[in-house]
A = this chain, B = another copy of it.
């Protein structure tokens, strides 16, 4: 019997700076109601789905940004979402800013901030937590930028790796699920680390501006969506998994986010795409048995990978200049 999963991606329109969590959670619950009507078994919400994308706002005193963070999950404000999941029997993926009091690398317990995502079982239990590894942007106020991108200021690098877990979702039975967040999707390393754990479904949320402020004429604006889709489609194809890439979209705090959420199959094909800049639910029937073909043929890792040639991937962080070619005539001088 085919392992079918009815998967929903719940794109969000903008969440303005002044919008309260109660309003946002109401929108999430309505999207979950729609998901139920469409027969979905799991709903994927975006990155930082409870607030505006606050890393665009600079605070000299980071403590003043803490009202954007969650200290408990669920909380009074997010409880209705967990209730809706229970009521409808739908699992969900949620991105949010997390404050945790836990030990750091030096073993010292302290307040830590992460860009986090969780997958929640319909019972309300957190099945899997992920903290964003590839933080883009910068840590200090950048006067050259019209809009700041302060993820490196507000968040620590995620310390949970790229975990995959096998958990029951809907009628499909156990599914190997993994998560990444926004900029992670552009890094094939993240996809591969999960592929090496036989991931079947990657859930990922993003908040990506329509304008690349670094581009300065070297990148046509319309390529932003191509780059996002290219990364997700290649990641799914090369790791034989499904992917749900789910955006916050539209004009938020005056900054345009490009949306275009997609669900992708292990062939790299787009199965469903959001085309509004508003709250929008897209659904696809995912036959998880489709993950088998790639994993057992072209991307049979055990048969074809050659880690002895991949050393630089872990031995280097940045790139290094290659050697100069020495023509025989010059070399002989």
Whether A20 is near chain B, meaning CB under 8 Å from some CB there, is no
Given A165-B322, A196-B312, A197-B312, CB of A327 within 8 Å of CB of B125 = yes
Verify if A128 is at the interface (C-beta below 8 Å from B).
yes
- Could you say which interface size class chain A belongs to? 35 or more
Closest to A220 in B: B267
Q: Is the CB of A314 within 8 A of B321?
A: no
A306 touches B157 (CB 8 A): yes
Q: Which of B193, B223, B237, B298 contacts A136 (CB 8 A)?
A: B298
If A267-B223, A305-B189 touch, does A290 touch B197 (CB 8 Å cutoff)? no
Q: Check A188/B312 contact, CB under 8 A, given A197-B322, A301-B319.
A: no
Contact partner of A166 (CB less than 8 A), chosen from B186, B193, B322, is: B322
- Across the interface, do B298 and A196 meet the contact criterion of CB distance under 8 Å? no
Among A127, A164, A238, the one with the most B-chain Cβ atoms within 10 Å of its Cβ is A238
A84 within 8 A of B: no
Q: Are A133 and B306 in contact (CB under 8 A)?
A: yes
List 9 A-B pairs, minimum CB-CB distance, nearest first: A302-B318, A188-B188, A234-B234, A167-B325, A214-B297, A164-B322, A218-B293, A196-B312, A307-B314
Known: A188-B191, A212-B298, A301-B319. 5 other contacts (CB 8 A): A136-B304, A183-B304, A196-B320, A227-B267, A234-B234
A132-169 interface (Cβ within 8 A of B): 133-136, 157-158, 161-168
| Residue of chain B at shortest CB distance from A124 | B328
- Can you spell out 18 A-B residue pairs with CB atoms less than 8 angstroms apart? A123-B327, A133-B306, A134-B306, A136-B304, A183-B298, A188-B189, A189-B309, A193-B309, A193-B313, A196-B318, A197-B319, A198-B319, A198-B322, A230-B268, A300-B318, A303-B318, A307-B313, A307-B317
A108 to B188: give the CA distance in the assembly, Å: 37
Q: Give A residues with C-beta under 8 Å from B.
A: 121, 123, 125, 127-128, 133-136, 157-158, 161-168, 174, 176, 183, 186-193, 195-199, 212, 214-216, 218-220, 223, 226-227, 230-231, 233-234, 237-238, 267-269, 290, 292-293, 295-307, 309-325, 327-328
